Each structure stands twice: as structure tokens, then as C-alpha cells.
Amino acid sequence: MHMSDALVSVAVGTTMAAVSTGVIGYSVKKIKNTDLSDNKIPMMGVMGAFIFAAQMINFTIPVTGSSGHIGGGILLAALLGPFPAFITLASVLIIQCLFFADGGLLALGCNIFNMGFFSCMIAYPLIYRTILKKAITPKRITIASILATVVSLQLGALAVVIETTASGVTDLPFTSFLVLMQPIHLAIGIVEGIITGAVLCFIYRVRKEILMNALENDNKMRVPMKKVLTFFVLATVFVGGFLSLYASSNPDGLEWSIQGVVGTSELKNSSDAHVAAQELQDKTAILPGYSFQGEQQEKPIGSSVSGMLGGALTLTVTIVAGFVIMSYKKQKLKKEVLKKACE
């Protein structure tokens, strides 16, 4: 559900960029008020890499001719808590946009908000956490994962339609666009919810304390993490380097909906701001469309390299961000201690 720049006006794009930046800032502030353990920061990096790789796997939606991929917000929130999850998912989307031209640069704020805010800040606390509040069981995990994922995708799809309409894209009338967007993302949400539930049930059997810590907003994560981290590192290599070769070539839910309204998924906007954003993205993208420069279409080796490289970049950026946040907090605490000592 990565929006392209053609769907977004400058006003909507900049507004949503400001909103998403605000949510990132708020998440950083919330994390600084807790203690991230030495285990949780690597977990953020490894899970970010896994979500990057997993988002490359488009699965076919039967009968429709469409496909979908996981967003990963509920999975991240269930393992990390809502605020570390939002920062991790934002890192994934920023790297996808800048280095792989997946999603428009002007639309980046919309994509972060649509895919991160509704899952981490709305569906996770109100649905997932509520269902598991009384007891954590595989059955409850599965139900909570499916319901939370479906709701977050429905809200995200609705936001895409609203942002597109507010941007004045008259080729996509509100009602016609909405009628296609909601049902297809319902189907995608059910599949993602099942996948999310299966992964979380596995974690429950291996290290259920991770799920319990996230539910309790305990960022210290005082549990052995070696097995879980190793599993997700290996899963990232397998998914990004191998399984991505077999991703569905059908248009995703957003592209399918656009095509259903106007007959093509390729909309254009040639305003100066859109052209400038495209030129900048062309300069930063090292593997645009998960393909090597100059290739007319995605090739297997390009997908494999993109999955591995993107995962490594996400791992590095997220871990660095986590340590920077905590280093800033430690410096601030030292200054406060020194100030009190001087008094």
C-alpha cells in the first residue's frame, strides 16, 4: 500500500510529512522515558530487516488478479511495543523510498502514517492488547492478530482514499476508489493476520516473555534473545535472498484498485514539485524498483540483492537510531545528576 507521488498534492504530502515526523518525535520521547535493554535494540534492527524482506513478498489474492504484502505493524508492535515498532517501521519505509524507489518521496509521510500509525498506535493497543489482556494463548494471539491487522489495513486504505481525494486526483472519485480499496485490503488483511498470528504463536512457544514484555510496555526485555534473533536473521536471509524470487507479479491492492477505476495503475503528475521529488529520488535510489539501474523490468538477481542489501541497511539504521536515542538519554541523565550534585 505504498502511495506514489502522483496520488499526493504538495499540500497533502508536506502536511502528512509533518504529522509523521511528529509521531516519530513522540515515539522517540516515549522511548527515552524508558530503558531499552541491550537485547531490545538489536531486536528492533533484526525485526526491521525481517519486515523489509517480508514486504518484498507479494502473495496472490485468489480470483481478483491482485496481490498483497504484509505491512508488519502489528507484528512489530507485538514484539517490540508500539513506539519502538513505529520507529522501526518508519525506518523500513524510509529506506524503501530513498534507496529502492518504493513509494513516492513526496508521499513518504502518508505511507509512514498509513502503514505505521494505524497499526502501532490504534489497532495494537485497542484491539490486540485488549484481547490478550486477560490471558495469552495461541488462540487469542491468532484472533487478536487477524482482527488488529484487518482493522489497521482498513483504516490505512481509507486514509489513502481520503488523502488522494484531498489532493484533488479527480481520476479517482472518492466512492469508486473506496469501493475497490476496502474489500481488497480486507482480503489482504486476513492473510497478513494469519501470517502474523503464526509467527507470534511460534514466538509464544519459544520465548513468550517477549510478548508479555511488549504487552506490559516493559522495554527492558530481560530474557535470553539469542535463539529468537538467530531465527529472524536466518528468516530474513531466506525471505529476502530466496523467497523474494517467487513473489507474485500481480498488482498490489492499491495498484489494482487504481487500475479498476481508471484502467491503468500508472498515474502521472508533472508539477514542478513532483518532478523535483522524482529527480531527487532517482539520485538516491541504488536499486530502483528492486532492480539494477537501467533494467526495464525486475529480474531475479536484482530482487535477491535488494532483499539482502535492504535488510542490511534497515538493520544498521534501526540499531544506530536505537543507540543514538539511548545515548542522548544517558547524557541527559548525567547532566541532571551533575546539576543536582552541584546544587
The 8-class DSSP code of residue 58 comes to P
Query: Residue 155's domain spans which residues?
Result: 5-342
More confident residue, 269 or 61: 61
Which residues are CB-neighbours of 20 under 8 A, at least 6 positions away?
90, 108, 109, 110, 112, 113, 116, 117
Q: Please, what sign has the CA dihedral across residues 27, 32, 36, 38?
A: positive
Q: Which residue has the higher pLDDT, 39 or 21?
A: 21
For the stretch 291-340, pLDDT in tens is 887 655 556 677 888 889 999 999 999 988 888 877 776 676 666 666 66
Instruction: In whole angstroms, give the CA distance from residue 117 to residue 81.
Output: 13
Read off the pLDDT band of 97 (50, 70, 90): very high
Give the model's pLDDT for residue 221.
55
Q: Determine the average pLDDT of the residues in 259-279.
A: 89
For residue 93, give every residue at least 6 positions away whose Cβ sits within 8 Å of its Cβ, in sequence order, or none: 2, 103, 108, 111, 112, 115, 116
**pLDDT at position 267:** 87
Predicted local distance difference test score (pLDDT) of residue 218: 62
Mind listing the pLDDT tens digit for each residue in 172-189?
Answer: 999 999 999 999 999 999
CA 81 to chain centre: 14
Question: Does residue 219 surpass a pLDDT of 60?
Answer: no
Read off the CATH number of the domain in which 19 is found.
1.10.1760.20
**Per-residue model confidence (pLDDT) at position 298:** 56
Q: Considering the chain, what is the average pLDDT of its residues? A: 89
* pLDDT at 196 exceeding the cut of 80: yes
**Type and span of the H or E element at 167:** none
Task: Say if residue 235's pLDDT is above 80.
Answer: yes
Q: What span, in angstroms and rounded, lies between the C-alpha atoms of 197 and 133?
A: 16
Residue 37 is predicted with a pLDDT of 60
**Can you read off the three cell numbers belonging to residue 129?**
492488547
Of 191-205, 218-232, 307-321, give the range with the top mean pLDDT: 191-205
Domain tally, the chain: 1
* pLDDT (0 to 100) of residue 167: 95
